[in-house]
Amino acid sequence: MKSTSYLEQEIYEQPEVIGRLLEAELENARRLAAAIRARGVQYAMIAGRGTSDNAGRYGQYLFGAMNRLPVGLATPSLFSIYAAPPRFGDALVLGISQSGQSPDIVSVLAEARRQGALTAAITNEPDSPLAAEADHVICLHAGVERSVAATKTYTAQLAAVALLNAALSSDPAHLTALQAVPAATRQTLALAPEVRRIAQRYRFVDRCVILGRGFNYATAFEIALKLKETNYIASEPYSPADFIHGPLAVLDESYAVLVIAASGALLAEMRSAIGRIAEREAEILVISDDDATLAAGKLRLRLPVTLPEWLSPMVAVIPGQLLALHMVLERGHDPDRPRGLQKVTLTL
Amino acid sequence: MKSTSYLEQEIYEQPEVIGRLLEAELENARRLAAAIRARGVQYAMIAGRGTSDNAGRYGQYLFGAMNRLPVGLATPSLFSIYAAPPRFGDALVLGISQSGQSPDIVSVLAEARRQGALTAAITNEPDSPLAAEADHVICLHAGVERSVAATKTYTAQLAAVALLNAALSSDPAHLTALQAVPAATRQTLALAPEVRRIAQRYRFVDRCVILGRGFNYATAFEIALKLKETNYIASEPYSPADFIHGPLAVLDESYAVLVIAASGALLAEMRSAIGRIAEREAEILVISDDDATLAAGKLRLRLPVTLPEWLSPMVAVIPGQLLALHMVLERGHDPDRPRGLQKVTLTL
């Protein structure tokens, strides 16, 4: 009998996985960056499902903000079901999949390759069908993922995206900054006792809203997905800009609201969103490295390390992963057996 | 005192609005289509918030599947908050906004124009700041929208997108097919008595999942948004392909599940999703024009007209709009005063 769950073990493997990936994949990332420059890539399309789609969302902001590359998230059904796939032209088409098996994601890359576009894959399985369709592969080096709810492969996918972003950049400081991430994730894991206390308070939460924007828009999506998969909570991720365009109306005191507010360009806006939501009597948990922002929440989880904003998603998601784990334990379920789910999901 | 709500009045104005738009804007759509061809546009970026973002989602599938144009949904914060906006290159940048006022959406178009990209706006306000930044404007002709929850401007935005799509196409049958939409929306409004019965059954629903894919992915998003804005229901839209990658775990018998399944390429997949979900004891309402698919649901709303799949979103959303209206009436709230919302939302 295993003493802890796969979910818990894999959460704690993250510092090591990210460190391994950053070292092993630097050259692959540089080769892909060189190909992007050499091919005169105009924009990128990223295809992924679930957790991998959230990693793509991070890439959308990162490549846009730091390398001025427009990024769209692909619509796989256009490739797997509808008859006439888009013409990619001078695009980079990037598939992200832990297993590299998803037929719809493979179909996007296969079509891109057929058209002669530049293709790349980020996957934990370099021998997978997805990798076979890619001109360039960045491998996650995460070891076998046994937990149904992905954690270590999510942050590894973020690290792969961040590594490519740094390789694309003309500023070598970006690569240096990345080296701080493994230690920062390790320090962030020390939040577990505080998270456990919040998980007790959250024992009967059944509706939840998670707000993040910019680089941490992906973080909001990923934490929401973890809470759904493991705790069956109706948890919805939003940018505060979208949230106040309508969904705000749902809020009442039955809601738990999580706000991801890392230091950076968006901090002021996240703080003003907290003020707006506090008027609605929902209880707010702030996840931030900034003391003034933390003080605006009823509950707080203080990120122990301040990273550059673009790297913050790799630490900001960790309290959410720990929360999913401790909530499922408080509720007496098995973290490794979420109802109705399988590890690899094959969709067209 | 008004006898019915603005929400109700505007739902019933839709056939007229769409008919007016299709007639008045054909030439503008043709001019924009000609510019897209003349400029060698490689891909499109669409920017919108809330309901307008859902119309953009429709465009993403439509332009991709029928005109092979890759489309990404823009990330406005890259323009309004982060320092270095993406380089658009040979892109069409399309802003969608009822009011044409959203500062973040205007900032996307302003930057695109500054870069020399082709810009276009779909708006109800041809004198708005958004229209001022656009090389081409397609006007909604929807009249003043007084309801906080948008209905007529949503289907008008879809009609504008569909008109542009038809103008881009080399097949004149697409323009002809569009002419059937106003009458089809009128016939669909006759579902109101059946919707009212379902609204009674839904009196205590507080969690809901809405599934759609392809052209009707947007429909799932838009119905979910209406149910949130007017009835404060935790309603989440999904593609079935994403849903079974994790969120499926949330389902239990407390959930109402709505499935949008219009005839077309995706019908078989939607039917198999219904089968998968029925195993989880959630109660399923099917909205479809296909009798065999309707028979798979516990509850049914039969779309009275079968349109080509690409046009079906303009009718498939109507039962959802009517459901939002009748649910709010059953719950004794004012359809025109959703808590916490304003008509025009200005976000950066």
Distance CA A155, CA A142 (A): 10
CA distances from B220 to B37, B82, B216 (A): 31, 31, 6
Q: Which of A24-28, A147-151, A339-343 has the lowest mean pLDDT?
A: A339-343
Which helix (DSSP H) or strand (DSSP E) does residue B35 occupy? helix B26-38
The domain of B210 spans 183-330
- Contact residues, chain B, for A82 at CB < 8 Å: 61, 64-65, 214, 265
Shortest Cα distance from A233 to chain B (angstroms)? Answer: 6
Are B190 and B136 members of one domain?
no
Q: What is the number of helices (H) and of strands (E) in chain B?
A: 16, 10
CATH number of the domain within which B119 lies: 3.40.50.10490
Residues B149, B123: contact at Cβ < 8 Å?
A: no
- Contact residues, chain A, for B85 at CB < 8 Å: 64, 68
A158-203 pLDDT, tens digit each: 999 999 999 999 999 999 999 999 999 999 999 999 999 999 999 9
Number of inter-chain CB pairs under 8 A, A vs B: 214
User: How far out from the chain centre does Cα B73 lie?
Assistant: 14
Domain boundary at A179, A196, A225, which? A179
Beta strands, E only, chain A? 43-47, 71-73, 91-97, 118-123, 136-139, 207-211, 234-238, 256-261, 283-288, 299-302
- Contact residues, chain A, for B60 at CB < 8 Å: 75
* C-beta atoms of A87 and B78 within 8 A: no
**Three-class DSSP category at A119:** strand
User: Which residue of B49, B78, B280 to mutate against A (max A Cβ within 10 Å)?
Assistant: B78
Distance CA A177, CA A170 (A): 14
Two structure tokens written together for B40: 């060698």
Q: Give the pLDDT of residue A344.
A: 67
Residue of B nearest to A65 (CA): B84
* C-beta atoms of A348 and B269 within 8 A: yes
Distance CA A219, CA A231 (A): 17
End-to-end distance of chain B based on CA atoms, in angstroms? Answer: 36
Are A73 and A217 members of one domain?
no
| Residue ranges in chain B whose pLDDT is less than 70 | 1-3, 343-346, 348
Which helix (DSSP H) or strand (DSSP E) does residue B15 occupy? helix B14-24
Q: Looking at the domain assignment, is residue A220 inside a domain?
A: yes
Q: Which of A247, A269, A341 sits opposite B246 (nearest CB)?
A: A341
Q: Which of A88, A90, A246 sits opposite B228 (nearest CB)?
A: A246
Are A139 and A206 members of one domain?
no
Percent of chain A at pLDDT exceeding 90: 86
- Contact residues, chain B, for A347 at CB < 8 Å: 240-241, 244-245
Are B45 and B189 members of one domain?
no
* C-beta atoms of B234 and A213 within 8 A: no
Distance CA A25, CA A22 (A): 6
* C-beta atoms of A72 and B77 within 8 A: no
CB-based burial of residue B40 (10 Å sphere; 0-12 exposed, 13-18 middle, 19+ buried)? exposed
Are B199 and B270 members of one domain?
yes
* C-beta atoms of A340 and B43 within 8 A: no
CB atoms within 10 A of CB A189: 18
Shortest Cα distance from B227 to chain A (angstroms)? Answer: 9
Q: Which of A72, A233, A345 sits opposite B70 (nearest CB)?
A: A72
Residue of A nearest to B276 (CA): A340
* C-beta atoms of B42 and A45 within 8 A: no
pLDDT at position A256 over 70: yes
Are B11 and B153 members of one domain?
yes
Are A258 and A146 members of one domain?
no
User: How far out from the chain centre does Cα A134 lie?
Assistant: 22
- Contact residues, chain B, for A75 at CB < 8 Å: 60-61, 64, 217
Q: Give the pLDDT of residue B334.
A: 93
Domain boundary at A143, A161, A179, which? A179
Distance CA B25, CA B139 (A): 7
Q: Give the pLDDT of residue B345.
A: 66
* C-beta atoms of A49 and B76 within 8 A: no
Residue owning tokens 């349109």: B307
Residue A172, C-beta contacts closer than 8 angstroms, at least 6 positions apart: none
Q: Which of B249, B269, B347 sits opposite A340 (nearest CB)?
A: B249
- pLDDT tier for residue A248 given thresholds of 50, 70 and 90: confident
* C-beta atoms of B246 and A45 within 8 A: no
R_g over Cα of chain A: 19
Are A149 and A210 members of one domain?
no
Two structure tokens written together for A128: 């997978």
End-to-end distance of chain A based on CA atoms, in angstroms? Answer: 36
Question: Packing angle between helix B152-168 and helix B313-330, nearest 10 degrees?
Answer: 170
pLDDT at position A115 over 80: yes
Residue A122, C-beta contacts closer than 8 angstroms, at least 6 positions apart: A52, A55, A94, A95, A96, A97, A137, A138, A140, A157, A160, A161
Domain boundary at A179, A208, A241, which? A179
Are A145 and A226 members of one domain?
no
- Contact residues, chain B, for A225 at CB < 8 Å: 246-247
Q: Which of A49, A207, A240 sits opposite B241 (nearest CB)?
A: A49
* C-beta atoms of B265 and A83 within 8 A: yes
Shortest Cα distance from B156 to chain A (angstroms)? Answer: 19
Residues B223, B258: contact at Cβ < 8 Å?
A: yes
* C-beta atoms of A77 and B214 within 8 A: yes
- ipTM surpasses 0.90: yes
Question: Packing angle between helix B313-330 and helix B181-189, nearest 10 degrees?
Answer: 30
Q: Looking at the domain assignment, is residue A342 inside a domain?
A: no
How many structural domains comprise chain B? 2
Residue A181, C-beta contacts closer than 8 angstroms, at least 6 positions apart: A18, A22, A159, A162, A307, A311, A314, A315
Q: Taking the CA of residue B235 as centre, how many other CA atoms within 13 Å lie in the half-sphere pointing to its CB?
A: 30
- Contact residues, chain A, for B42 at CB < 8 Å: 42-43, 89-91
A82-97 pLDDT, tens digit each: 878 999 999 999 999 9
Q: Give the pLDDT of residue A339.
A: 83
Q: Give the pLDDT of residue A1.
A: 44
Q: Looking at the domain assignment, is residue A28 inside a domain?
A: yes
B218-252 pLDDT, tens digit each: 999 999 999 999 999 999 999 998 888 778 888 98
Beta strands, E only, chain B? 43-47, 71-73, 91-97, 118-123, 136-139, 207-211, 234-238, 256-261, 283-288, 299-302
Q: Looking at the domain assignment, is residue A241 inside a domain?
A: yes
Shortest Cα distance from B79 to chain A (angstroms)? Answer: 9
* C-beta atoms of B345 and A69 within 8 A: no
Q: Give the pLDDT of residue B125.
A: 98
The pTM of the full predicted model, rounded to 2 decimals, is: 0.95
Q: Which of B85, B234, B241 sits opposite A236 (nearest CB)?
A: B234
CB atoms within 10 A of CB A176: 10
Q: Looking at the domain assignment, is residue B340 inside a domain?
A: no
Q: Give the pLDDT of residue B245.
A: 74
Are A131 and A231 members of one domain?
no
* C-beta atoms of B66 and A88 within 8 A: no
Distance CA B251, CA B53 (A): 27
User: What's the mean pLDDT in A29-54?
Assistant: 97
CB-based burial of residue A308 (10 Å sphere; 0-12 exposed, 13-18 middle, 19+ buried)? middle
Q: Would strands A136-139 and A91-97 be described as parallel, antiparallel, or unpaired?
A: unpaired
Residues B113, B8: contact at Cβ < 8 Å?
A: no
Q: Which of B58, B144, B142, B47 is nearest to B97 (CA)?
A: B47
Are A322 and A236 members of one domain?
yes
Distance CA B233, CA A3 (A): 40
| Amino acid in the structure at residue A272 | S
The DSSP output letter for B86 is P
Q: Give the pLDDT of residue B1.
A: 44
Are A10 and A70 members of one domain?
yes
Q: Looking at the domain assignment, is residue A1 inside a domain?
A: no
User: What's the mean pLDDT in A309-314?
Assistant: 98
Q: What angle do CA A100, B237, B48 make, to 5 degrees?
A: 95
* C-beta atoms of B83 and A266 within 8 A: no
